[in-house]
Chains A and B, each alone.
Chain A
Amino acid sequence: MPGSRRVSRPRVLLLTPDFPPSEGGIQLLLSRIVENTPEIEFRVLTLGQPESEAYDREFAAEVRRVGSAGGDRRRAALTLNLRSLTEARSFRPDVILSGHVVASLGAVALRRTLRVPLVQYVHADEFRVRNRLTATAVKQADATIAVSRYTRDMCLDAGADPARIHVIPPGIDLPPAPSGERDEQPTLLTVATLLFRYKGHDTMVRALPLIRAKVPGMRWVVVGDGPFRPALENAIRAYGVGDAVELRGRVSDEERDDWLDRANVFCMPSRVPAAGLGGEGFGIVYMEAAARGIPTIGGNVAGARDAVLDGETGLLVDPTDHLALAGAATELLGNPERARTMGAAGRAHAERHAWPLIAARVEALLREVAAAR
């Protein structure tokens, strides 16, 4: 690269409102990247949380906290952005990694004033919730990490330079290889918070009587809880399928993993919200299911198209078509051999997404951007 310089251990300032110990997809992703890239000197600037001191002490990089994640989000975001200006002056980073567009205002300012290159992470829902801010961030950034081809397409629609967008999916913590033993009762499993309509629980309920007609004795196990639970319960009553559904609510990680080990098919027909933006950025839960050797059914839209390889690790269907969904679920529940083959392919797919491999791709990108400075 003309004018580039080799940086042996680049300094990266990671700006993010979301970081452990609070739970969530973005929190997990950013912490795993830092943990798996020892050759990068990270400093994390994030929001204050109760009982974060112990976590920060043990963490692989220096964590600094400002404001509070629990209070007014706007105010907290403003504090984070303002503080990033002084933090950059003291840390003198080679690259700023903005983990969420909420942190992009300060990052863009630093890029202009201190000429520190910016790498922006984009997940998907930002385009729905903060469309203009996200569009500005991806146009300004030296590089954008899109978690899926779907997210990349949204960046392009927002006017980003195609050469600066890099699709790097989220990684997973690879569990031990699955034993292959499954419950005898044909079991469909969905793991998702009942917080969003787009996750497709409504389509699942509609498909259930048709699946049951073809696979007698089957059940649908639903892991997750949230404000849509009463609506889900009413829909189940409306269809009279209560005896085929187990609503487990919010469960421990161990119990969730146990269900992933026992169920025959993972099914989450996520769609794109009617507004046309958002939905699954990638759908890491499909990959977590695949890692446990279970075939996955997803919607043929948004990030699930990267997480589920149609016909190989699972099946993709029109997520608004309960007939298609019923057909796919019936096919996999009724054909254990095919389900096993897809489960094995899913495990191999998941192995290609283990954190060390994914973090290495992020590290390579950060180094490239730092070198081009």
Chain B
Amino acid sequence: MCGICGHTRDPEGAAARAMNGAMVHRGPDDEGVHSDAASGVSLGARRLSVIDVEHGHQPLANEDGTIWAALNGEIYNHPRLQQLLRERGHTLATGTDTEVLVHLYEEYGADLVHALEGMFAFAIWDTRTQTLLVARDRFGEKPLFYANSGDDLAFASELTALAAGADLGAELDPVAVHEYFVFGYVPGERSIVAGARQLPPGHLLTWKPGGKLEERRYWSPPAAAVSEAGESTADLVGELGRLLSNSVRSRLIADVPLGVFLSGGVDSTLIAALAARESSHPVKTFTVGYDVGDVSEAEAARATAREIGSEHHELVLKVDEIAARVPAVLRGLDQPQADQSLPAFQAIAGFARESVTVAVGGEGADELFGGYPRYRWLSRAEALGATVPASLAKPAARLLAAGLPAGRAGRLADVLEPRSAMERHIDWIAGERLAMRDTLYGPRLNGSDPLAGLAAGLDGLVAPDGLSVAGRFMLLDQLHWLPGDVLAKADRASMQVSLEVRTPYLNHELAEFAATVPPDLQTGGGGKSLLRLLLAELLPESSMKRPKTAFRVPAADWLRGPLSPILLDQVNNGHVCEEGWIDRAAAAKLLDRHIASEADGSAALWPILAFGLWLDRLRGRDAGL
């Protein structure tokens, strides 16, 4: 884990030091800057010590000091790579994973990424060819922002850090803001600030003096292939077990204490059970629960912990902590993120950090193994659309929607409504935020890309050709939602408290395997059918009755209670309305109705809260928090 940065016009390292200073939370144990005065290139790193705690100072160099590297993240197969490099005659001075980068670069150049298994963003400065290489891991677990002005390149793990070392200007990117309010995160290559971009997952960026900048994709999640190979389910579960066990095992390597996040659902239970099998000591497990609402998973997690014999730790996030905790977390983000579970994730990460430095989580399982119910509903809607003519479906949808508004009937009405699968998908993700756009958007967002434009953009990411509906949207989620929401949340929430989160499902061999399993098999049986079968082998007594769970928080209760004065302040005095992003009157009205329990406005109010708090910090407004 750690944070990295660099600047190509920084001969003294002042910009790198400033950027390092803005991300101490990512790496509280050490910092370093290497400056190449002749070329003006500086690399910087903040370090959270996890591997070879003694010798891990970064940036570091190869034997003759011609190649320098800084790494944020973990290269899980670094023991194997060290062995391979020694066999080829390299001299390794440390046991760190950062050092394998410089030697692998000597062997393979930029293609070294294909030797790495892990989560990473790294930079390599090659003094011989005067080339700066920046790379980001396959799934986007570790972030990387960059700014390119004139001939220069600046980059950093967080946007706030980048702003400390490069002039990004004060302008926000209105397209990014719009997409944030639709999706709840800033997706793709944009950042919320007009002057900076994100390096997409699975991409390399190379810079040479004179400003020559090249961005190239080296890997992307494979599309699902419909195979007629007729492999038995037992064979598939066997292969899954082999790959997932390997992945868990490699993620248990650390020179510091390590734990597992446990929700009681299939994904985390499977990881915890495999970790318990691999570990000679009782595994430490961590769960968060709440004192309001009905979404706590603490009880399910407790039962699982008993089954696998873990040393279980439980945090209850109390409603009277929310007024202080949530705004602090949201203000502290480098770019706004509206996932309601982020503050709870930060709380459980902070709680775990009291006893461990690394925690293993279940991120990625839903996207790779077909966990979201949306995949099944979208498939059904497409099948219906192909058989029921629009002239019949439309009135039927209206009748159902009017007469039976809630639950499965409401869903059926939605499924009957004739429209494209992509528009249906966006509607599902954005929920009422999209419907409320006409009234909530302020003048700065008027004229934003309509639904059809957003759908066309996403269609460009995953063309429907040759893919089943489920396969197509699983792939889209791997490219869009996973890096934009799930992984950005996990990284920022855990880094705020200097905890490293590792994700065994996000292993490229596992993803490549998952893409060879027919998507409809994956999404059958309530979703994640292969994971369920593997879990049934590991914990035969209990897995069948395991409830389907997602990481949820009582956001509506919090917004009605402790967060309502903060949101009211945002609406009345915050930059979010002041600058014309959100319409003040419409937001005030929605908040009133939400507080009075006349409506659940959480899906629209939470993004306003998160964006407003972030923007106020950017503009230097102190609301007394």
Contact = CB atoms under 8 A, between A and B. Distances in A.
Given A240-B218, A323-B81, A234 B515 contact: yes
Interface stretch (B64-72, B229-237, B317-325, B346-354): B229-237
A196 B217 CA distance: 29
A323 B223 contact: no
Nearest to A213: B111
Contacts of B578: none
Nearest to B516: A231
Contacts of A237: 220, 222-223
A50 B115 CA distance: 51
Interface residues of B, number: 37
Given A210-B114, A238-B512, A274 B218 contact: no
B251 to A, nearest CB: 17
A226 interface: yes
B221 A238 contact: yes
Interface in A200-225: 202, 206, 209-210, 212-214
A175 interface: no
A167 B358 CA distance: 51
A230 interface: yes
Given A230-B225, A235-B222, A274-B239, A323 B115 contact: yes
A327 interface: yes
Contacts of B241: 274
A231 B227 contact: yes
Contacts of B77: 323
B114 to A, nearest CB: 4
Contacts of A227: 227-230
Interface in A210-265: 210, 212-214, 226-228, 230-231, 233-235, 237-240
Contacts of A213: 107-109, 111, 114
A237 B222 CA distance: 7
Contact of A202 (B218, B220, B223, B512): B512
Contact of A273 (B81, B229, B238): B238
A323 B80 contact: yes
B517 to A, nearest CB: 9
Contact of A197 (B220, B225, B515, B516): B516
A275 B231 CA distance: 12
A228 B229 contact: yes
Q: Which of B228, B235, B466 has the most chain A CB atoms closer than 10 A to its own CB?
A: B235
| Main DSSP-derived SS at the A contact region | helix
Contact of A210 (B115, B221, B223, B235): B115
Nearest to A195: B229
Contacts of A273: 235, 238-239
Interface in B68-113: 77, 80-81, 84, 107-109, 111
B343 to A, nearest CB: 35
Nearest to A236: B222
Contacts of A212: 111
Contacts of B109: 213
Contacts of A276: 238
Contacts of A240: 217-219
Nearest to B217: A240
A206 to B, nearest CB: 7
B466 to A, nearest CB: 8
A150 to B, nearest CB: 18
A210 B111 contact: yes
A327 B85 CA distance: 11
Nearest to B216: A240
A228 B230 CA distance: 10
B114 A206 contact: yes
A274 B238 contact: yes
B115 A228 contact: no
B222 A234 contact: yes
A226 B114 contact: no
Nearest to A207: B114
Interface in A252-298: 273-276
Nearest to B110: A213
A228 B84 contact: no
Nearest to B515: A234
A49 B219 CA distance: 47
A271 B239 CA distance: 11
Given A197-B516, A210-B114, A231 B239 contact: no
B242 interface: yes
A226 B225 CA distance: 13
B111 A209 contact: yes
A326 to B, nearest CB: 8
Given A202-B512, A209-B111, A275-B235, A231 B221 contact: no
B114 A238 contact: no
A153 to B, nearest CB: 20
A241 B49 CA distance: 36
Nearest to B231: A197
A327 B80 CA distance: 13
Contacts of B225: 228, 230-231, 233-234
Nearest to B111: A213
A273 to B, nearest CB: 6
B226 interface: yes
A275 B114 contact: no
Given A209-B218, A210-B111, A323-B115, A231 B235 contact: no
Interface string A308-341: 0000000000000101000100000000000000
Contacts of A234: 222-225, 515
A230 B222 CA distance: 11
A254 B516 CA distance: 32
Interface string B183-202: 00000000000000000000
Given A195-B229, A238-B219, A274 B235 contact: yes
A230 B238 contact: no
Interface string B411-428: 000000000000000000
A327 B88 CA distance: 10
Interface string B248-261: 00000000000000
Nearest to B108: A213
Contacts of B238: 273-276
Nearest to B243: A274
Contacts of A233: 225
A126 to B, nearest CB: 15
A226 B230 CA distance: 11
Given A206-B114, A209-B114, A238 B222 contact: yes
Contacts of B108: 210, 213-214
B205 to A, nearest CB: 16
A227 B51 CA distance: 43
B516 A228 contact: yes
A240 B225 CA distance: 17
A275 B229 contact: no
Contacts of A210: 108, 111, 114-115
A228 B227 contact: yes
Q: Which of A233, A234, A276, A321 has the most chain B CB atoms closer than 10 A to its own CB?
A: A234
A238 B478 CA distance: 13
Given A197-B229, A197-B231, A228-B225, 12 more contacts: A197-B235, A202-B512, A213-B111, A227-B229, A231-B222, A231-B225, A231-B515, A231-B516, A237-B220, A238-B219, A240-B217, A323-B81
Q: Which 3 A-B pairs have the closest CB atoms?
A: A274-B238, A230-B225, A213-B111
9 contacts: A206-B509, A209-B111, A214-B107, A230-B227, A233-B225, A238-B515, A274-B235, A274-B241, A323-B115
Interface of B: 77, 80-81, 84, 107-109, 111, 114-115, 217-231, 234-235, 238-239, 241-242, 466, 509, 512-513, 515-516
